[in-house]
Structure 1
Amino acid sequence: MSNLEIRDLHVSVETEQGTKQILKGVDLSIGEGETHAIMGPNGSGKSTLAYAIAGHPKYTVESGSVKLDGEEVLTMSVDERARAGLFLAMQYPVEIPGVSVSNFLRTAKTAIDGAAPPIRGWIKDLDSSMSQLRMDKSFRERNVNEGFSGGEKKRNEILQLELLKPKFAVLDETDSGLDVDALKIVSEGVNRAKANTGLGILLITHYNRILKYIQPDFVHVFVAGKVVEQGGPELAVRLENEGYDRFLSNVNVGS
């Protein structure tokens, strides 16, 4: 059984005002096939956690560990993290001019697996996933995310998720900017990937609405760079009804 263990993680970032500590001792354990939702107000450190796991150079890990199946992730390059089985779906996917979706995906799959997938089977899998995500076949030859709408970019990320088959996926506000129909389609793709591969999911979101389609096993509340409460799906409903005021008040009192 695969597992992703985050222990006492402290992360900082350089700002115009100097070094700012964002994460202040985060502990999380995600097992194979589990879905963990991270919720919290703006500026609480949710996206910082995602980028630290992925190895974004802007963020400095001051202490702590992130281990995938016992192997320290923080000493790995970004490419090594992907080959080890980590996947990050970004809040704002970047455009890659001059690189088609089809070529990008096959190159990524080859790099991760160490061998190119057989072309006939690859095209079949690609077409099947695109069809289920309601993506026209013409997207295969379009440049990655270039001219894509927000919803198309998010579908393209879930297409990558389905085809690259990572062990763990960090989904950073995947629901951002999606209408109800697109949200359902994207959520179905995530659920398919989980059902087919035992994918472990760390889902970062502001809102409960995506959790109606992607059922979390655990919900963790982030405030001021720490996990301040955790529970089951009922906690997300409570947050939707009550907001974060009581957590913010406790932080202000303690500061």
Structure 2
Amino acid sequence: MEATRPGPRSKVVADADEAVVGVGDGASIAAGGFGACGIPSALIDALWRRGVRDLHVISNNCGTDGWGLGILLETGRISRVTASYVGDNAEFARRYLGGELEVELCPQGSLAERLRAGGAGIPAFYTAAGVGTLIAEGGMPWRYAPDGSVLVASPPKPTQLFDGVEYVLENGITADFGFVHAALGDSEGNLVFAKSARNFNPLCAMAGQVTIAEVEELVGAGEIDPDAVHVPGIFVQRVLHTPAVEKRVEKRTVRAPMEVS
């Protein structure tokens, strides 16, 4: 008898609330996006409705005031952030300096590689970024006390010489959940990202133990050219169709109108 190959199992969930089932208090979340570009806003909104607290977020930045991860931040749902960029998020700065938030700042390239390494099963790697600074030497404020003193400081990291050049050891990052936003996805979780919205999304998809992807366009299994796939479905456990998700511009710059004589 000729063996038959089992058919594809759909990973599509009915709505955003179903997508975030199982995300509980104290969970760690690797969230894709950069500023307001490519952020999984539908999943973040659902997580806010779920009411979970004490979250550890790993993301390039923590959203903007009143948008994206900023919604969780301003309602006190996040206790720790691993990021490379604060930006213009005034609430982030207020909570950090006021001792309400623990923050591990990391060079942007190192953060990207830490996520990629974690997803690839690499426990640690050496990099020149941060050598000779508090990143390597320790003492960077992670959490302040209400009086402004440093309550928790970063520990020193191991360094090593390679061919006479000093490098610092950075650990790979994995998270309980990965939240990502893609332009296109299929029912098996294969994902395609649009231009700069790719940013940290593929890395966060790899780093999550359970990765949830919101996709603007959803197609059936086999409809995406395999050569076009940015993240294969093996890394994705749940898919949410979000055809009308809101998109915002973080900073709008326009040229003054030209005078016509």
Normalised to the residue count of structure 1, the TM-score between the two structures is 0.32
Larger radius of gyration: 2
- Greater helix percent: which structure? 1
Normalised to the residue count of structure 2, the TM-score between the two structures is 0.31
